[in-house]
A and B are shown apart, each in its own frame.
Chain A
Amino acid sequence: MLKFLFTVIRRDVLLAARRRGDWLTAQFFFVMVVSMFPLGVGPEPSMLRTIGPGVVWVAALLASLLSLGRLFADDFRDGTLEQMLLSPYPNTLLALGKAIAHWIINGIPLLMIAPVLGIQFNLPPEALLILVLSLAIGTPILSLLGSIGAALTLGLRGGGVLVTLLILPLYVPALIFGAGAVEGVLSGTGAEAHLSLLGAFLMMSLLLAPWVSAMALKVSVE
């Protein structure tokens, strides 16, 4: 079973590594969106510091959503997905593996770029640390919840934007706790409460999302 999980993850990561363009685009999108905000609201340092955590978090959210369209779509198109669903291994494991792979491909690079962007917004070192930590807990949530959206919208015309429409409301708690954690550090109230709640949300997503994604896959493929 575990071998199946690792196979799924390994396959996706290998495929993504061979098509570097895809995930690089998502990362550039992340950087560009974040950079747009100072251009839109002005470069005043203390204001940027205030909006920084939120902006980075929302951009991370959008970059994640961008890349979700492809989560199942490529395999669906060439029939691999159907085969994988027919295999004796539980579909929940397939969905979990896909989500983990998505996080490795898209989430981890986000974590590496985020502190650099945080500096653009004048965030002090302790805030940058919490920013990365909050995203480290938050991006797996995005991959997990996003897999539900990707499974539901498999093969549909409105594809990318539709997933965003469906999943963004569900992400709200993660956004609030994640960005809130960084703001907690900035304002001195501390980030523990936010991070614990975020962690709890991750646990819940880990338990429920793969199961729901698997059901959604069955609905979409049948």
Chain B
Amino acid sequence: MNWDSWEAFWAMGGYGLYVWGSFGMTLLCVVGEIWLLRRHRLQTWQRLKRLKSWDSQ
């Protein structure tokens, strides 16, 4: 274990802003990408359903 306490962990020896700024942005990008992907997939299904309903009219 490297850390004496939670405070020390978050502080990262003074580099907290940079370390968590980096890991945080990465997390944001990953979550963002996954969210966009889900949205794309849902929209595709909805579009296909709509097209199908127009076809059958």
Do A and B touch (CB < 8 Å)? no
Q: Which B residues have a C-beta under 8 Å from some C-beta of A?
A: none
Q: Which A residues have a C-beta under 8 Å from some C-beta of B?
A: none
